[in-house]
Amino acid sequence: MQSDAVEAALNKQINEELYSAYLYLAMSARAERLGLPGFGHWFKSQYHEELGHADRFYSYILERDGDVSLDAIARPEIGDNGETALGLFETSLAHEQYISDSIFNLKDLARKESDHATDVFLEWFVREQIEEEASVRTVVDQLKLVQGQPNGLFMIDRELAARPAANVITSGLGVARD
């Protein structure tokens, strides 16, 4: 059984993941409004992926005989960064770095509480965050390279449109991707 502190932190992470989904959905809508359907598709796929992450935490808490406690989801704030594709991806990178820190703090807590099962469970998320940050950082770098060159922006938009939609399957200890 997990400690009350670990359970509370895992429940907080469900909210973080749901907020992430909500943020990516807002970013998808903004990208579509900017006339960048490929960017919109990428953010919408990310939205689905974040829902899968929330579900993975949800399932894990229940499998450890814990209580799931859902909080309100804050309104996503994109601000002025939502006026350009680069701004959207810079916001995404900052958010993924924030989520990485959140996962790292969870791992620290699990270790402090000698919760080996949760420590192992969180390894998947550590690897996932490394991948998430690298993926977003690549797009940020590409967008910086093509600044002022609409053809480059449209090429990136086309490339992002080719991203497979997130195919998330929930079962057992959480989420697996096809």
- Say what the pLDDT of residue 80 is: 81
pLDDT confidence of residue 159: 94
pLDDT at residue 4, as a whole number: 95
**Which CATH number covers residue 48?**
1.20.1260.10
Which parts of the chain register pLDDT below 70?
166-178
- 51 alpha-carbon distance from chain centroid: 8
For residue 175, the model assigns a pLDDT of: 43
pLDDT on residue 167: 56
| C-alpha pair distances (Å), 141 with each of 62, 134, 135, 138 | 40, 10, 10, 5
Helices (H), the chain: 4-33, 37-63, 85-112, 116-145, 150-161
pTM score: 0.90
> Residue 79's pLDDT is what?
81
Look at residue 164 in the predicted model and tell me its pLDDT.
84
For residue 128, the enclosing domain spans: 4-177
Q: Note the pLDDT tens digit of each residue in 105-117.
A: 999 999 999 999 9
Specify the number of domains making up the chain: 1
